[in-house]
Amino acid sequence: MSRLGVAARGESHPCLQPTPEATSCTIPDIRMFSMVPYMLNITAVHTWGVSSSFVPFVPEHIIKPDPPEGVRLSPLHGQQLWVQWEPPRSWPFPEIFSLKYWIRYKRHGTARFRLVGPIEATSFTLRAVRPRARYCVQVAAQDLTDYGESSNWSLPATASVALGK
């Protein structure tokens, strides 16, 4: 069993666990862009005793967006594939706290992905793709200012490229 908590500038806030056995917690009403790091107090209670440790962190350094959602592919003429997606619903105010994106794609039957990005829009046209080939495309997101880490890759979207003119 463990109890988790956080304190900043002398204040104490709970770190809410979904269950007592959970290995993660949520800190409500966290302040972003603070010059003072938060201090996470992790206390483990065991049959042989109690142990605690303090872990300092800055919220912006540990953020990780959820993957982009609704990845859609539209074949275009001239050996092009239009990729569209939405920011993750869990990302607050994407019009204010912008994300940048990476696209990885590969032709069906090949082992390696090609990588495109960063892209600051929620659509992109892949050019010089092979006609009649089937492609697998995924998108990842990261805070525009390079805070934190990139999201996991989105669910794959697949499409076949139309015969170009």
Q: Quick: pLDDT tens for 119-148.
A: 999 999 999 888 888 999 999 999 998 888
For every residue of 47-103, DSSP letters joined together read TTEEEEEEEEE-HHHH--PPPPEEEEEEEETTTEEEEEEE--TTSS-TTTS-EEEEE
Domain annotation for the chain: domains and CATH numbers:
2-62 (no CATH), 69-160 (2.60.40.10)
For tokens 């990476």, what's the residue?
Answer: 102
63-85 pLDDT, tens digit per residue, is 899 999 999 999 888 788 999 99
> pTM of the prediction?
0.75
Q: Is the pLDDT of residue 109 over 60?
A: yes
Find, among 54, 36, 33, 68, the residue nearest to 147 by Cα: 33
The pLDDT confidence band at residue 10, using thresholds 50, 70 and 90, is: low
